[in-house]
Amino acid sequence: MLRFVTKRLISAVLVLFSISVLVFLIFFATPGVNPAARIAGRSASPATLKAVEATFGLNRPIPIRYGLMMYHLFIKQDLSSYVNIGDKVIPQITQAAPVTLSLVFGAAVLWMVFGVWAGVIAAKNRGRFIDPFIMFVGIAAVSIPAYWLGEVVQLITQTSLHSSVFHWVPSTGFTPLSQNPLQWAVHLLFPWLTLAVLYAGIYARVLRSEMVNAMNEDYIRTARAKGLSERRILYRHALRCSLIPIVSLFGLDIGALIGGSALLIEVVFGLPGVGMLTYNSLTNLDLPVIMGTVMYGAFFVVLASAVVDILYAVIDPRVRVVS
């Protein structure tokens, strides 16, 4: 087991390393993105431009620049932005992370509740009207571009109906939980709902098909043969087994979302989270911040998948051999 965990962690570190190299190459192999000219200002003379390049180490060989960037990011932790000079990357991420966490965990509660509820209802009522209805809603939910849904929500709450039904909806932005819990929730309510719609759809569909499959398994037949009530079989046996894939799915999704995959929702609702930070740094081509946020995001994705893998290995020893 220990060997499996070690192997899994080493491969995670390798993956993170490769990603950092990839990001660095993507952005430095491109003509036209040299930040020196922007740092120097609009009508800087060629001499000033050269001096700026030297100050920021932009004239050094690529591998050394990569090494320096990693050194400043991870060891000295003082890597700072090319756009907001002196603005360190790590504090920017730690300031943005609570926003993303608030968004993701709030939405996660909603989608788990609705998704599991809808999935169970559909599975229980298989063959009746409610099942295809829920599945239809589920398909609609997973087919809606979430950012578009966000814009539509904005359109409804901020324009025509803002003066009547939705006068209590604040303009976009974020209020920290510590500052005002009520405002925190009010600001996040619609982002939560928007994000949750999609995942609730996915989870309901996955759970339903898992449960339907489970109901055909041998152990359910055994349970039936023992004369257990249908209700008991559904909740105690089928649901319990079907929740295992849901939980692993949940782990991976949460990892990706905390890592910044909620980027579009954050942009649409003006939430200053990690996704927004990433998006802004990408549009500004602010390489140190891009590097920081991508590494942060990849870290959570890799961590989540490693944790899920290891938990699986704990539950099911065969995995250790196959991997």
CA dihedral 250, 254, 256, 262 (to 10 degrees): 120
Q: Of the two residues 206 and 228, which places its CB atom closer to another protein in the complex?
A: 206
At closest approach, how far in Å is the CB of 75 from another protein?
21
Q: Of the two residues 237 and 248, which places its CB atom closer to another protein in the complex?
A: 248
CA dihedral 118, 121, 124, 129 (to 10 degrees): -100
Q: Of the two residues 26 and 165, which places its CB atom closer to another protein in the complex?
A: 26
If you search the block for the tokens 């759809």, which residue do you land on?
A: 201
> Which is nearest to 191 in space by CA: 100, 277, 114?
100
* DSSP per-residue codes, 267-303: HHHT--SHHHHHHHHHHHT-HHHHHHHHHHHHHHHHH
CA dihedral 321, 314, 237, 222 (to 10 degrees): 40
Query: Structure tokens of 132?
Result: 């295809």
At closest approach, how far in Å is the CB of 139 from another protein?
5
Provide the b/e sequence for 229-263 (b: ≥16 CB within 10 Å).
Answer: eeeebbeebbbebbbeebebbbbebbbbbbbbbbb
Query: Structure tokens of 99?
Result: 């926003």
Query: Structure tokens of 38?
Result: 């922007």
